[in-house]
Structure 1
Amino acid sequence: MYLDVKRLDIKRLHVDTTTTLIVMEDEVDRLVAAWRRERPDLDVEPLEVLSRVSRLARHLDRARRLAFSEHSLEPWEFDVLTALRRAGSPYQLSPGQLLTQTLVTSGTMTNRIDRLTKKGLVERLPDPSDRRGVLVRLTDEGRDRADQALAGLLDQERAILAELSKAQRGELASLLRQLTAPFDNIPG
């Protein structure tokens, strides 16, 4: 991650005689100002938050792809491998459990399991509690790749959050949780 100093627009706001607060203007500020100028009849306040969330999501997606590519993984492969890794030893789940965690169709999941099996990252085993069922288990190679990619991802994410203090990160997480929780509880 880098900062393009040519596009950096810093405004100094004097808080009091002993403190100077530096506020960086971003592209969203310019977008909001333009809409307020062109459409003063509209309340564009949601743009101030959600446009930033959207822009940040694009940066995060790039960081995720970089972290995964360094370990020869696609984002969907990382999602399946880490779902199995989070399950704990012996790092296995049924295809149905994987569906629930990765939000894909059963046909898509079957294809993904097939592809990961061919790469030697997972294996299919008979389910001892259901003669017709199978379990998908992480191989040692799959666990190592998932662990390495996760460490790389966390490094990328820490870099994105570096501008915030620990308290600010906690506050942001809490606020975002308020926005995402209702969607996480919608059936289907």
Structure 2
Amino acid sequence: MQTDAVAAMVQQWGRQRPDLDASPMLVVGRMFRLTDAFDRKLRAPFAEAGLGNGDFDVLAALRRCGEASLSAGELSRTVLVTTGAITKRVDRLEERGLVERTVADEDARGRRIALTAEGAALTDRLIAAHLENQRRLLEPLGKEEREQLGELLAKLTAAQED
């Protein structure tokens, strides 16, 4: 067993409560620690660009849709946050000139959100840096290990979304 803080906790539980199987902590505990570590290491480019938590998610969702615009509801489903959170993020991004709102063709009460040219350029620059940072974080794993881990995480994710 690899010795790290999580393994030490599992060993301690084994001594204090040998009747319990604490081994799930080896996966879940490490996933939490890894998520926190990755989050800290991946935020820097966004913070340097003056983006708050989640702002890049909105920019990236809009950039992935190409030339189209999205409603707040569509963005909410894509980014997996409430429409209220989307509205706050879009307000900040619009204030910076990175997105713009237009009246929806299908309903004059609705608004469509799209990237500005400046927003698209910033998103393109940041996604390149973001993907390079992700690649660096995964360097300890070989290609087959990354693929296997991706498949295992997809399996766990699917089981939680049922």
Asked if Structure 1 and Structure 2 have the same fold, meaning a TM-score greater than 0.5 normalized by the shorter chain, the answer is: yes
Higher strand proportion, which one?
A: 1
Pairing partner for 1:182 from 148, 159, 162: 159
Q: Return the offset for 1:127.
A: 1.5
Which stretch has the larger CA shift, 100-109 or 162-171? 100-109
2:112 matches 1:173: no
> In structure 2, how many angstroms separate the alpha carbons of the residues matched to 1:74 and 1:110?
14
Question: For 1:164, what is the secondary structure of its paired residue?
Answer: coil
Question: For 2:54, what is the secondary structure of its paired residue?
Answer: helix
Q: Return the offset for 1:82.
A: 0.6
The C-alpha deviation readout for 1:4-28, integer Å capped at 9, x for no partner, is xxxxxxxxxxxxxxxxxxx853222
Pairing partner for 1:93 from 62, 70, 76: 70
Percent identity over the alignment? 43
- The answer to whether the Cα contact below 8 Å between 1:124 and 1:135 also exists between their aligned partners in 2 is yes
Partner of 2:87: 110
- Opposite residue 67 of structure 1, the aligned amino acid is P
- The answer to whether the Cα contact below 8 Å between 1:64 and 1:156 also exists between their aligned partners in 2 is yes
Question: For 1:75, what is the secondary structure of its paired residue?
Answer: coil
Larger radius of gyration: 1
Partner of 1:151: 128
Partner of 1:43: 21
2:49 matches 1:71: yes
TM-score by length of 2: 0.91
The C-alpha deviation readout for 1:53-92, integer Å capped at 9, x for no partner, is 01100011102211312322223110111110111124x2
> In structure 2, how many angstroms separate the alpha carbons of the residues matched to 1:150 and 1:162?
18
TM-score by length of 1: 0.79
Q: Return the offset for 1:33.
A: 1.4
Pairing partner for 1:137 from 114, 125, 129: 114
- The answer to whether the Cα contact below 8 Å between 1:67 and 1:156 also exists between their aligned partners in 2 is no
Question: What is the number of equivalent residue pairs in this alignment?
Answer: 162
Gaps (5+ residues) in structure 1?
Answer: 1-22
Partner of 1:34: 12
> In structure 2, how many angstroms separate the alpha carbons of the residues matched to 1:184 and 1:119?
35
Output the aligned Cα RMSD. Answer: 1.7
Q: Return the offset for 1:48.
A: 0.8
Gaps (5+ residues) in structure 2?
Answer: none
